[in-house]
Amino acid sequence: MPRPDTATATTATATTTTAPAPFFPARRPGGVPGLALFLNAGDPPLPQLRELVLMLDEEGVACLELAVPFPDSVTDGPVVRRSARRALDRGGAGLDDVLGFVADVRPHLTRTRIALLADWRYSLGHRDLTAATRDIAAAGADGLLVHALPPRLREEHLGSAAEAGLPVVTTCYANSPYETRAEAAAHASAYLYLVAHYGRSGTAPAAGHAALAQTVTELRAHTTSPIAVGFGVSTRQHVEAVGAAGADAAIIGSAAVAAVAAAQEAGRDVTEAFREFVRSVRPAQS
């Protein structure tokens, strides 16, 4: 899960790119928000994950936020951290492995888009940023979220992504300073990840997700990209509350990871168990 940039916004302007199509379908009046699900690549193992991703496409899930697993995330709760550790212990889920996975599965998807989440220190810091971004785009990722990117590299990241034609996911907390939220919104070209509250993934805001309506409205003035809300979203009611706040999509992370873990521990078919989970959290279309 992402670590939002809470540093004071700068006045410099970086080149951005525009997604070829909205990351989430446009909401009709009274319609439900799109659904984005977070999983660590390698949990389940990549062959099982391929079947699961194809199922997400069948079910019409708008976005898979797919993380290249990395250890000891300071922003993740225990559920996501354990998932990353399982993936790392199995091996075969480094950045190159995950890009190979994306290149294999992406051509078979018609409705689900893949936003790749990569940690700067663990997955990208030892690589040339421009070349790595180009490789991620060439693999077929629809968007890129760089976790814990050093602020000094923000403009280079945005420029590299624009050059590669790769939309970026930017992040901010709901209680970040106004200037920081405005800058994050302005640079979002895939979608803006609005973190519901300061804390670790899996914890919900005390006032509920619907209370983010004013923040979502303020952010609309700075971006034409979709706004997705995450952290503490785990049930159908939470997804509906995100929609009531006016956001375009709800991101479910810890609950999705937990559903995978429960299926593996019970010896169930992970894909079918996860299909049940998807149907349990997705509101009925109005």
* Burial environment of residue 193 by CB neighbours within 10 A (0 to 12, 13 to 18, 19 or more): buried
Cβ atoms of 141 and 90 closer than 8 Å? no
What's the half-sphere exposure (Cβ side, CA atoms, 13 Å) at 22? 14
Q: List Cα–Cα distances, 68 to 46, 88, 93, 160, in angstroms.
A: 12, 10, 7, 19
The one catalytic residue among 65, 119, 142, 183: 65
Please identify which of the residues 5, 43, 76, 119 carries the catalytic annotation: 76
What are the φ and ψ backbone dihedral angles of 22, each rounded to 5 degrees?
Answer: -55, 140
> Does the annotation mark 59 as catalytic?
no
Q: Residue 111's closest CA among 64, 144, 170, 66?
A: 64
Q: Is 265 a catalytic residue?
A: no
CB 243 within 8 A of CB 210: no
C-alpha pair distances (Å), 249 with each of 11, 25, 40, 233: 29, 9, 20, 11
| E strand segments, the chain | 34-40, 63-67, 113-119, 143-147, 169-173, 191-195, 227-230, 249-252
Residues pairing with 145 in the sheet? 117
| Coil vs helix vs strand at 237 | helix
From the list 242, 183, 254, the residue with the least C-alpha distance to 27 is 242
CB-CB contact of 173 with 195 (8 Å): yes
Q: Which active-site residues does the annotation give?
A: 65, 76
